[in-house]
Amino acid sequence: MSSVAGKLTAAEQKRLYELVLNPPLGSKVEAAKNYGVDLTLTLRSLTLTPTERSQEMESALLLMEEIQKAALRIDR
Amino acid sequence: MTNFKAALEILRNAEVNFVVVGAYAGVLHGSSQLTRDLDICYERTSQNIKRLVTALASCNPRLRGAPSSVPFLFDERTVSHGMNFTLETDFGDLDLLGELSGLGQFPDVARDAISIELFGQPCRVASLDAIIRSKRAAGRAKDLNALPELEALKEMTRKK
């Protein structure tokens, strides 16, 4: 599979879910988990198309901006 | 916040030759990181620089973070004499990169870039390998911090 191919098949998603839960010793997946990366977020992103990934990221940024604005209002 | 769709449309409509790079390219590949700006590697030919300048002329490009007293004229001469520009525009933050650490200039970046469908249009995006190489070469804390996920992503999406 390619990361930009879009939505995963059910079989690919199952394989990756198992990989994320039980990464092989010495793998990059294990290294990322040990570093503190939440790879379930990455896996969720892989279930989306590139356009959906972009839209979801923009939504998250908008939410963060709204929270920051609200926090500033409370501080005043 | 950057309107990525609008920014890409402006560049594509003007037929600017570019490749999406940086953190946003990582997001398109599946990274869960967030980024506020669009980074592109643009072709440094006089024709493409002209298209780039024309495309952005109506978007009020200015140097990001610079006081308004700092003179800046975004024209073909400025782009030709410079290389990388961190801009603020009416559609958000845009980094124009003539050259990237670890990758080189547009021909090198475009060589193994991939074409994806983004907002209903084809768009060239740096390969995951290239993004990893450039972040490793840039070596800033934020770049190195992104590497574990990108390398895991590469492993997860490797063809079986």
What pLDDT, in 10s, does the model give residues A45-57?
999 999 999 999 9
Interface of B with A (CB under 8 A): 1, 4-5, 24, 27-32, 34-36, 114, 116-120, 125, 128, 148-149, 151-157, 159-160
pLDDT digits (tens, 9 = 90+) for B58-112: 999 999 999 988 889 999 999 999 999 999 999 999 999 999 999 999 999 999 9
Phi, psi of B153 (to 5 degrees): -60, -40
Nearest to A53 among B30, B128, B148 (CB): B30
Listed by start position, the domains of chain B span: 4-156
Test B27 with A38 for CB contact under 8 angstroms: no
Closest residue in A to B146 (Cα–Cα): A37
B124 forms beta bridges with: B115
CATH of domain B4-156: 3.30.460.40
pLDDT at B78: 97
B41-59 burial string, b = 16+ CB within 10 Å, else e?
bbbbeeebbbbbbebbeeb
